[in-house]
Amino acid sequence: MVLLELRDITKRVGQELILKRVSLRVETGEFIAIIGPSGSGKSSLLYIMGLLDRPTSGTILYRNEIIEWKDAVINRLRNQKLGFVFQFHYLIPELNVLENVMAPQLKAGRSYGEAKERALELLTRLGLDAKSKRQVFEISGGEMQRVAIARALANNPEILLCDEPTGNLDTKNTQRVMEIFEELNQEGTTIVMVTHDMSLAERAKRVIEMRDGEIVADR
Amino acid sequence: MKAILFLSLAFLKKRKRQTIVSTLGFAISVTAFIVMSSIMFGFQKYFIQQVIDIEAHISIKPKEEIAEDRLIRRVDNESLIKALGSRPKEKDKILGWRDIMKRLEEHPEILGVAPHLESKGILKYGAKEKPVSLIGIEPFLEARTSVIERFLEKKNLSSLETHKDSIIIGKIVARDLGITETGKRVVLTLPNGQTKIMKVVDFFNSGITNIDASRVYIPLKTLQALLERVDEVNVLIIRIRDVKRAEALARELRAEIKYEVESWQKAYLNFLKIFKIQNMITYMIVFAIITVSAFGIFNIIMMTVMEKRKEIAILMAMGYSSKDITLIFLCIGLITSVLGGLLGFIFAYGILEYLANLDLELEGLLKSKGFILDRSPYYYLLGFVLSFLFSLIASLYPAYRASKLNPVEIFRSL
Ligand SMILES: Nc1ncnc2c1ncn2[C@@H]1O[C@H](COP(=O)(O)OP(=O)(O)OP(=O)(O)O)[C@@H](O)[C@H]1O
Ligand SMILES: [Mg+2]
């Protein structure tokens, strides 16, 4: 089943074409790694797949339906179907660990109690239950990234989009995050991960290589 | 909405210092608004109420001579010298006042009419002298046309009826002459040189300084006799049902009566104008304070938006819409102003409570014990609404700016 499809996606920034008629199908349950040199357009592609950025031209389909670029539609998909993990954790320092994981759930309309319960469940799963009451700046970098993953998973997304999620982590934490992704993927979550690290890309089921705004290899 | 409150409260809670400072800003504005309104309107309403009670709602008096008018008219007729020489001085009296009174009393809006003979005089007590405004009254009629008895310390208006040499003097007149109790005898001297020994039967204490410092009441007949103006009066005072209608009614009466008809609003126009200016100045000050606190909240929210770009971007990535982001920052401003408003209520209540119990003698336009306050809840409501509106206006732009941030630009910039 095709979950997400890009058709002829072009992105122009000023005079520069940073994505050139890119087409791509993401099937349910895939684990895709996107690789390529710096500046090749990996992040740009991921932002478009995640509906964070609007393409200059081309069509995006979600479960075979063309996505209309309307605030209500986009925001609902971002909230319910997509999860993001970036290189930087982007945790909200005004919220504690638990509350950070609750934020997307409250937007989804869950009650405070339900959100709290689900957040605790996720944090426990990621080995962070003891840190749930901590402030964001009171935990380590690896822990912060795991909280960010918990937040991305909070509303049970169908696709997890990750832009160099281990870029700031040491080997031990990198391994831990990769294990989490593999486990999630086995349970059915589709994962798209941008990475520089070939050894990590090898662990994905499918590797897409980009160069100058184009997909040059897909295996 | 749950999510929005959750986030705005988190921002407010974690940025305590900013929250406290901006809350205090609004608290001070609301306090200033309530306290200043209560003092100002308390004073003004009291003043107007006293004026309405003591003074005629409408008075009828001989028209003032306007000499210039006549002069110019005569010059036009090329007989200037004659005009100067023969300028007739209209008599200072109302002709046929009994008929006018009778006619007026039939008017459904008029509660009562009373005749006055007003003149200047000098009161002497021992070595002290004081120029006064003399009013000759018919006590019975007077009581129907003003609430004069309310202001009499001994409620002894009827003495004027029974004793021809009775005099009621203003409290400040009494104080200036050194009279502290009734029964004292004073010498009244009139412009025509007549003098008479009068017995002080009561004091008149309205609180309005310029009235208490000059007014003196004596029996109408006594004054007529002293001035050798038998059965003459020069003012008719009218009390009406609805004081707000005074000016309209005066206009109506002007058509039928050839004398000057003046409403209390006209008579006190200068005071009412001063009040207007006073209100304007006070509100300008209060607005300045509110504006400063609004700028404060504007600044703080604007700074928060700039510092929180990353957080705004991730919220958008989580599915928070532009509207949600706008609302989060609006809520920060509005919650601050609501907290400030409530704190302002407490401050204002405390200050007014203190002022109300303050024991001090004030003497300006009004003489009073302590502050005369108008402690209407309306000022609380209005102050609250004002600060709410100001903070809404102040938060609108930063909140809008926050909602227009592009998350991708922010993610890229890191
Ligand atoms: N806002 C922008 N203005 C100008 N150029 C931009 C902008 N955004 C992206 N680009 C350009 O688009 C191209 C692709 O950028 P992108 O961030 O997608 O690359 P990337 O493959 O993710 O690189 P990296 O591995 O360094 O993260 C780059 O050449 C970049 O300079
Ligand atoms: Mg990148």
- CA–CA dist B338, B29 (Å, integer): 12
Which of chain A's residues have a Cβ under 8 Å away from the Cβ of B6?
Answer: 99, 102-103, 106, 112
CB contact under 8 A, A78 and B318: yes
Q: Which two tokens stand for residue B61?
A: 């008096």
Query: For B102-121, how does the pLDDT look when each residue is reduced to its tens digit (9 = 90+)?
Result: 999 999 999 999 999 999 99
- Residue identifier of the C-alpha nearest atom 25 of ligand 1: A38
> What's the confidence (pLDDT) of residue B34?
93
Of A72, A86, A108, the CB nearest to B411: A86
CB contact under 8 A, B317 and A53: no
Interface A–B counts its CB contacts (< 8 A) at 81
A127 φψ region: left (φ > 0), alpha (ψ -120 to 50), beta (else):
left
Query: For B177-219, how does the pLDDT look when each residue is reduced to its tens digit (9 = 90+)?
Result: 999 999 999 999 999 999 999 999 999 998 888 899 999 999 9
Query: How far A172 CA sits from the closest chain B CA (Å)?
Result: 24
Give the number of the ligand closest to the Cα of residue A36: 1
> What's the confidence (pLDDT) of residue B371?
80
- CA–CA dist B301, B393 (Å, integer): 12
- CA–CA dist B392, B372 (Å, integer): 34
Of A47, A80, A102, the CB nearest to B408: A47
CB contact under 8 A, B7 and A103: yes
Query: For B20-53, how does the pLDDT look when each residue is reduced to its tens digit (9 = 90+)?
Result: 999 999 999 999 999 999 999 998 888 888 888 8
What distance in angstroms lies between residue A42's CA and the mean position of ligand 2's atoms? 6
Of B11, B310, B317, the CB nearest to A78: B317
Mutate to test the interface with B, among A75, A76, A88 (most CBs of B within 10 A): A75
Cβ atoms of A196 and A35 within 8 Å: the answer is yes
Query: How far B324 CA sits from the closest chain A CA (Å)?
Result: 9
* % of chain B surpassing 90 pLDDT: 59
Q: Which two tokens stand for residue B57?
A: 């709602």
Q: Which two tokens stand for residue A7?
A: 């058709």
Interface of A with B in 43-102 (CB under 8 A): 43, 47, 50, 52-53, 71-72, 75-80, 84, 86-88, 90, 92-95, 99, 102
Q: Which amino acid is at A103?
A: A
Tens of pLDDT along chain A (219 residues) come to 899 999 999 999 999 999 999 999 999 999 999 999 999 999 999 999 999 999 999 999 999 999 999 999 999 999 999 999 999 999 999 999 999 999 999 999 999 999 999 999 999 999 999 999 999 999 999 999 999 999 999 999 999 999 999 998 999 999 999 999 999 999 999 999 999 999 999 999 999 999 999 999 988
User: Where residue B86 falls among pLDDT bands split at 50, 70, 90?
Assistant: very low
Q: Is A107 on the interface with B (CB under 8 A)?
A: yes
Please tell me the pTM assigned to this model. 0.80
- CA–CA dist A217, A34 (Å, integer): 10
Give residue limits of the domains in chain B. 2-52+271-413, 64-69+83-263
Cβ atoms of B125 and B186 within 8 Å: the answer is yes
Nearest CA in chain B to A105: B3
Among B138, B144, B182, B183, CA closest to B161: B138
